[in-house]
């Protein structure tokens, strides 16, 4: 199980150091539950200096598919490795909708992350109009196949999937634990087609639909929900620690 905090474009360097320090002091190692935070790029090195040797791993929020080059404003997998990153979020719904990233873009980044021994957290999920039209499974299947077809894994822990029900984030509508489980089970079936049953069964599938301390236990108790990709609740130490504790209870 993995609880990963996506800080998005929040906090300056001082605030990032304070939050990383508070988490280091509050999150204890637990067998079966991995913990990661994904600060903005400018805070990665400082966060690593605080977290190194602790129970918390470091991740980034995005990366480019090339090793180097004239790509102003981008960062490479090698750069992320050099500042201590283990994880990298790829294909987040905000990257897809705001910045126009395609499944082909995500696939190229996945291959590059794996080549540099980074664990990609590959995000998939449908928009409100897809859910209302009953296209949610078709959309998610296309995203999974587009990003992962022909990808080779050495072990299941080489990759993580995060399901984001975009229709349930900031819309006033809520995804129930049963809806989350239904989609996670569907994702597991698609992963079986891509990687085989044994590998698919061992891949962590995170829930990324506004998991909070008051709904975490019910979500994390679902058989195919193996953790959370946490947005807003990861910006407050007490809330994020509560989610980690929920994962320990539910594993």
pLDDT in tens, 53-87: 999 999 999 999 999 999 999 999 999 999 999 99
Residues near 24 by Cβ (< 8 Å), separated by ≥ 6? 50, 51, 54, 56
- The pTM of the full predicted model, rounded to 2 decimals, is 0.97
* pLDDT at res. 18: 98
Tell me, yes or no, if 92 is annotated catalytic: yes
* pLDDT at res. 172: 65
**Active-site residue, selected from the candidate residues 94, 126, 164, 190:** 164
**DSSP class of residue 174?**
-
pLDDT (tens digit, 9 = 90+) per residue, 113-137?
999 999 999 999 999 999 999 999 9
pLDDT (tens digit, 9 = 90+) per residue, 214-242?
999 999 999 999 999 999 999 999 999 99
Residues near 68 by Cβ (< 8 Å), separated by ≥ 6? 76, 78
**Please, are residues 147 and 110 in contact by the beta-carbon 8 Å criterion?**
yes
- Of 250, 108, 97, the C-alpha closest to 167 is 97
**Active-site residue, selected from the candidate residues 92, 94, 126, 184:** 92
Give the whole-number percent of the chain exceeding pLDDT 70.
99
* pLDDT at res. 210: 84
Q: Which helix (H) or strand (E) holds 61?
A: none
Tell me, yes or no, if 184 is annotated catalytic: no
Q: What is the mean pLDDT of the chain?
A: 96
pLDDT (tens digit, 9 = 90+) per residue, 132-188?
999 999 999 999 999 999 999 999 999 999 999 999 886 767 789 999 999 999 999
């Amino acid at each position: 199980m993995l609880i990963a905090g996506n800080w998005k474009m929040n906090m300056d360097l001082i605030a990032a150091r304070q939050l990383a320090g508070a988490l280091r002091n509050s999150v204890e190692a637990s067998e079966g539950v991995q913990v990661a935070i994904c600060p903005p790029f400018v805070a990665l090195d400082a966060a690593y200096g605080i977290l190194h040797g602790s129970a918390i791993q470091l991740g980034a929020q995005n990366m480019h598919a090339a090793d180097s080059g004239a790509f102003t404003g981008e960062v490479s997998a090698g750069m992320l490795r050099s500042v201590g990153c283990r994880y990298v979020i790829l294909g987040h719904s905000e990257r897809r909708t705001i910045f126009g990233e395609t499944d082909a873009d995500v696939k190229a980044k996945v291959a590059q992350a794996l080549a540099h021994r980074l664990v990609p957290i590959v995000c998939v999920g449908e928009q409100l109009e897809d859910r209302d039209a009953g296209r949610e499974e078709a959309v998610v299947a296309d995203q999974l196949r587009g990003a992962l077809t022909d990808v080779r894994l050495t072990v299941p822990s080489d990759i993580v999937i995060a399901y984001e029900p975009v229709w349930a984030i900031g819309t006033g509508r809520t995804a129930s634990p049963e809806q989350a489980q239904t989609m996670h089970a569907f994702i597991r079936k698609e992963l079986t087609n891509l990687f085989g049953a044994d590998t698919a069964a061992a891949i962590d599938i995170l829930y990324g639909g506004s998991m909070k301390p008051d709904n975490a236990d019910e979500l994390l108790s679902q058989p195919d929900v193996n953790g959370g990709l946490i947005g807003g609740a990861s910006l407050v130490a007490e809330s994020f620690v509560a989610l980690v504790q929920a994962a320990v209870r539910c594993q």
